[in-house]
Structure 1
Amino acid sequence: MVQFVKEIQGELENVYVGQMCLSWEILHWQYEKAIELLESDVYGSRRYNEVAGEFQQFQVLLQRFLENEPFEEPRVQHYIKRRCVLRNLLQIPVIREDGNKDKKNGRRRDYEENNDGVIKSDQLVEIMEETIRLFWRFVRCDKLTISIHDQKSRTKSQIEPDHEEDSEDLEMFAEVKSQLQNKEKRLRDVLKSERCIIRRFQKHKEEDSTEDQVLHFFSQVDMKLVTRVLNMSKLTRDHLVWCHNKLTKINFVNRRLHLDPSFCLFPC
């Protein structure tokens, strides 16, 4: 019975971690899309009121989750409990332009006479950035996103091998752990040398190095998620491969960070 309960808890943890990782991938992708829409919307004629409302609702659900968490069960159980009630929890809205019956053949519409309450591309980006800040807080509030080297060493029973008595998974875990620690150190060194704090996502904007700051921030989120996966009660080879692929997308060249934005779907 005890073993059965542990297996169920492991499956629920996999659902939670998988949803968190998937939500971040989509949120990151949607943010990049919002930036592209802003750059292409020369006249500021596009409207995004509907999806802006959905992102604000996403923020409300996440904010309430975090406010209630100190009084609730551990993170995984709390998430599963709330997810059964709030089906949209951690579900990222899809960016789309509001329907416009008066818009014909892409012709620019004039909003100068009545522009109150209209959410345009620049405001959508701001809403996305606020959503990302809140999601970052959600990730950091998970106690198992602490640095992996603060955890006890993995035992063979904590990693599910593909074959009996196969030690390759343990070796891969050690390799991924080392890879993570190395990239965390590299990022700390870059931030220290440049005296660069992630101000853009702490409501402070600078004209210089904004793009670098965004990359630093996104890589921090990625590494926190990798840490959370490595701290799962049960790891499979697919999980380790995901962590490895995720970290491979974070590279440092001449003390400059390069982040591959391509999707990295969490294994089911």
Structure 2
Amino acid sequence: MDFFKIKKLGKARKSGGGGGEVVESEEETKAGNNAASDEQKGKILEDDPAAAAAGAGMDADAGNGAVEGQEEDDDDDDFITNEVKRRLKELRKNSFMVLIPEEECAEVEEDGEEEEEEGSSSREWMESDVGDGFPLCGFDSLYEKYCERMAVFDKMITQLLKDPGSFNISKKSPRSASKLASTLRNLSFKRRDDLQEDCEHLQQQQSEDDPYQTLETAYVGHVSLSWEALHCMYVHLSLILAAQPDNPTTYSCAAQAFQQFQVLLQRFVENEPFEQGSRVEIYARSRSSLSKLLQVPTFQVADGKYNAEDQVEPSIFASDLIKLLEESIMTFRLFLKKDKKKNSALMSVHSHTGSSIQQVQSSLDKKEVKVKELFKKKKGWKSKTWPATMEEVQLLFALIDIKVVSRVLRMAKLSKEQLLWCEEKMSKLDLSDNKLRRDGSPILFPC
């Protein structure tokens, strides 16, 4: 490369045109005569001070010349260093050499970032801009991302329902699932190990061709996202009440929206036994006709301050709105309970190919047992009413967390990102010492 040639020229300039050997001989000669020159300087200072001053001037001139030569050499070294950095930058732009650090400080920063990322395998799915706790400034961005992801899953539902061939979903899915499961069962243990990749490819191909699994992904995505949004609404409003108990702001419009949210869920649960198809298909059809179904509203747009003269109907304050939120959460829990487990044929596929799914499921089952044990100790709390203490509220939220994660793990088509989301949700439930410590910071379900 060109900058290596420049480096050779710099070395040639240092040698004064005589080569490296001449420079070494001169340095040895100077080292050998160093003691004699010191003695001569001492005698000159004693005998003739004027001559000593002249000699000092000559030494200074020689020193200046040496400094100038050294500065020229430093300039050459700086030029070479800058040239190397410039070439490395070009290599980074034109290739994937991301492991080449630009400076030592960049290496320290990258190491620090890697150590922070080791704490959690699914931190990349925490894109809600809300860290530990619930700061009021991050709520708007969280709700905006919630609506965006809900819209992504809505598009999946709309595209499939527009397809004329997707109306017989309930007939397609069991056939393809049983075909895949029977293929795996007919393999011997040795052939299962040898043909593991073929089975995974078959599973992927069947999943891509099965519209039911796509609708199930959209349904589970809506359930998971709406629970995160509903939980954040409750905590956010609780913080407002704690900071301003006598807040004069009214929320009549927000109250109507949450009442509608609650009524739509109740109607869905009541009409589901009389509808044709599975829960996923019924939800897809209902969501396409009722866009507000399972869509958590926001209370950020308030009515304004209370004025008794302007109000005809009773005003809804924050203390009244939070009661509607509590009723909405209990209705959402009932909606989850009615989503009954069905032992599909694809669950056997997960048992052969997804050891990581089994590990998450095992951890989930253990934590569910512990939470239910703590729940039974609260004898005064009835499951159909809102808890009286904050400890009981956290137990209720933990039970809903477990229900949501359990529904995600029952999906026939489960991606790596969705599995990491489940791991992260379960890591936020600490049940050591027979006490529940729940981290309520939101994690939006991945698209």
TM class by smaller structure: 0.7 to 0.9
Q: What percentage of residue pairs aligned between the two structures are identical?
A: 34
**Corresponding position of 1:134:** 331
Q: Report if the CA contact (8 A) 1:196-1:213 is conserved.
A: no
Q: Name the count of aligned residue pairs.
A: 243
Instruction: Give the secondary structure class of the aligned counterpart of 1:202.
Output: coil
TM-score with structure 1 length normalisation? 0.81
> 1:98 and 1:204, CA in 2 relative to 1: closer, same or farther beyond 3 A?
closer
**Corresponding position of 1:202:** 384
**Corresponding position of 2:283:** 79
Matched, 1:212 2:391: yes
Partner Cα separation in structure 2 for residue 198 and residue 235 of structure 1: 36
Structure showing greater relative contact order (alpha-carbon pairs closer than 8 Å, 6 or more residues apart): 1
> 1:260 and 1:198, CA in 2 relative to 1: closer, same or farther beyond 3 A?
farther
**Corresponding position of 2:372:** 188
Structure 1 gap ranges (5+): 104-108, 160-166
> 1:99 and 1:151, CA in 2 relative to 1: closer, same or farther beyond 3 A?
same
Structure 2 gap ranges (5+): 1-171, 177-205
The structural deviation recorded for 1:202 is 2.6
The structural deviation recorded for 1:233 is 1.4
Matched, 1:124 2:124: no
Question: Residue 29 of structure 1 aligns to which amino acid in structure 2?
Answer: C
Question: Residue 213 of structure 2 aligns to which amino acid in structure 1?
Answer: G
Question: Residue 286 of structure 2 aligns to which amino acid in structure 1?
Answer: R
Cα displacement string for residues 126-154 of structure 1 (whole angstroms, at most 9, x for unaligned residues): 0000000100000110013x8xxx88894
User: Which residue among 250, 258, 267 is the counterpart of 2:437?
Assistant: 258
Partner Cα separation in structure 2 for residue 21 and residue 88 of structure 1: 16
> 1:116 and 1:195, CA in 2 relative to 1: closer, same or farther beyond 3 A?
same
Instruction: Give the secondary structure class of the aligned counterpart of 2:298.
Output: coil
Partner Cα separation in structure 2 for residue 236 and residue 255 of structure 1: 33
**Corresponding position of 1:226:** 405
Cα displacement string for residues 130-183 of structure 1 (whole angstroms, at most 9, x for unaligned residues): 000100000110013x8xxx8889444x48xxxxxxx8x622111101100110
Cα displacement string for residues 36-86 of structure 1 (whole angstroms, at most 9, x for unaligned residues): 122223324110001110000111111111111000121000000011100
Instruction: Give the secondary structure class of the aligned counterpart of 1:233.
Output: coil
Cα displacement string for residues 78-100 of structure 1 (whole angstroms, at most 9, x for unaligned residues): 00001110011111001225243
Question: Residue 250 of structure 1 aligns to which amino acid in structure 2?
Answer: L
The structural deviation recorded for 1:197 is 6.2
Cα displacement string for residues 218-239 of structure 1 (whole angstroms, at most 9, x for unaligned residues): 0101101111111111222222
> 1:175 and 1:197, CA in 2 relative to 1: closer, same or farther beyond 3 A?
farther
User: Which residue among 238, 258, 270 is the counterpart of 1:67?
Assistant: 270
Partner Cα separation in structure 2 for residue 246 and residue 13 of structure 1: 20
Partner Cα separation in structure 2 for residue 181 and residue 128 of structure 1: 28
The structural deviation recorded for 1:248 is 0.6
Instruction: Give the secondary structure class of the aligned counterpart of 1:143.
Output: coil
The structural deviation recorded for 1:243 is 1.1
Question: Residue 256 of structure 2 aligns to which amino acid in structure 1?
Answer: G
Instruction: Give the secondary structure class of the aligned counterpart of 1:219.
Output: helix
TM-score with structure 2 length normalisation? 0.50
**Corresponding position of 1:164:** none
> 1:198 and 1:170, CA in 2 relative to 1: closer, same or farther beyond 3 A?
farther
Q: Quick check: which one's helix share is greater?
A: 2
Instruction: Give the secondary structure class of the aligned counterpart of 2:436.
Output: strand
User: Which residue among 350, 354, 360 is the counterpart of 1:170?
Assistant: 354
Q: Report if the CA contact (8 A) 2:347-2:410 is conserved.
A: no
**Corresponding position of 1:106:** none
